[in-house]
């Protein structure tokens, strides 16, 4: 049985819909989470794309997430799930007790669905208004923010957006 490590930083953290042999916290260097990728297949539609995460190269920054050890067969499922612009990248992943080489799915700036940077207010509005076959864009953001807090992972970009979206929806932030 051939095995591989997958680093998850977005929905792979809170919706691992695949079998895994183990999961551990992990981090990768020189990347930051950003809601800069458009989604018309999961959290939006062709006419009204939602915004989901990708990783942006950021020298000196560290992205913390969850790492899964899976059998190679799982890759076909993940390739399909992450098909809207994401590509596999090989990375070194720091686990609590060792460094392993593995794979992370990144949507780069050349992919057709890439939306890029925008003011947080604009991103928050777009998230509030978008819904797709997998559910609302708000769910994607709030479930991620909750999962990161549970894992004690700090992420200003995500938490600021979560607070803005809660505000817009009249919910209190704690």
What is the closest distance, in whole angstroms, from the C-beta atom of residue 161 to ligand SIN in the complex? Answer: 14
Task: Considering only CA atoms, give the Rg of the chain.
Answer: 16
Tell me which residues in 88-117 interact with ligand SIN (CB under 6 A).
Answer: 105
CA of 75: how far to CAs of 88, 94, 114, 122, 133, in Å? 10, 21, 23, 34, 22
What is the C-alpha to C-alpha distance for residues 1 and 57, in angstroms, rounded to an integer?
Answer: 33
* Annotation says 87 is catalytic: no
The region of 7-15, 56-64, 120-128, 157-165 touching ligand SIN under the rule CB under 6 A is 7-15
Per CB under 6 A, 10 contacts ligand SIN: yes
What is the C-alpha to C-alpha distance for residues 42 and 81, in angstroms, rounded to an integer?
Answer: 9
Per CB under 6 A, 38 contacts ligand SIN: no
Residues in the interface with ligand SIN (CB under 6 A) total 9
Of 25, 14, 5, 26, the C-alpha closest to 68 is: 5
The region of 8-16, 94-102, 123-131, 149-157 touching ligand SIN under the rule CB under 6 A is 8-16
Query: Considering only residues 28, 53, 93, 123, which one is a binding residue for ligand SIN as defined by CB under 6 A?
Result: 53
What is the closest distance, in whole angstroms, from the C-beta atom of residue 17 to ligand SIN in the complex? Answer: 11
Q: Is 135 helix (H, G, I), strand (E, B) or coil?
A: strand
Q: Is 16 helix (H, G, I), strand (E, B) or coil?
A: coil
Residues of this chain that interact with ligand SIN (CB under 6 A) are 8-12, 52-53, 82, 105
């Amino acid at each position: 049985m051939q095995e591989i490590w997958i680093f998850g930083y977005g929905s792979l953290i809170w919706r691992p819909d695949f079998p895994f042999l183990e999961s551990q916290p992990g981090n990768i260097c020189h990347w930051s989470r950003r809601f800069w990728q458009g989604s018309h297949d999961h959290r939006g539609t062709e006419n009204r794309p939602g915004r989901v995460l990708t990783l942006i190269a950021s020298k000196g920054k560290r992205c913390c997430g969850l790492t899964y050890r899976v059998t190679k067969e799982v890759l076909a499922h993940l390739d399909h799930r992450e098909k809207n612009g994401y590509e596999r990248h090989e990375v070194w992943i720091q686990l609590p007790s060792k460094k392993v080489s593995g794979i992370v799915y990144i949507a780069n700036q050349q992919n057709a669905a890439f939306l890029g940077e925008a003011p947080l207010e604009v991103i928050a509005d777009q998230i509030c208004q978008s819904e797709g076959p997998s559910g609302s864009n708000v769910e994607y953001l709030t479930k991620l923010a909750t999962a990161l807090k549970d894992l004690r992972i700090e992420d200003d970009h995500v938490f600021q957006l979560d607070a803005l979206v809660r505000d817009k929806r009249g919910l209190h932030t704690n």
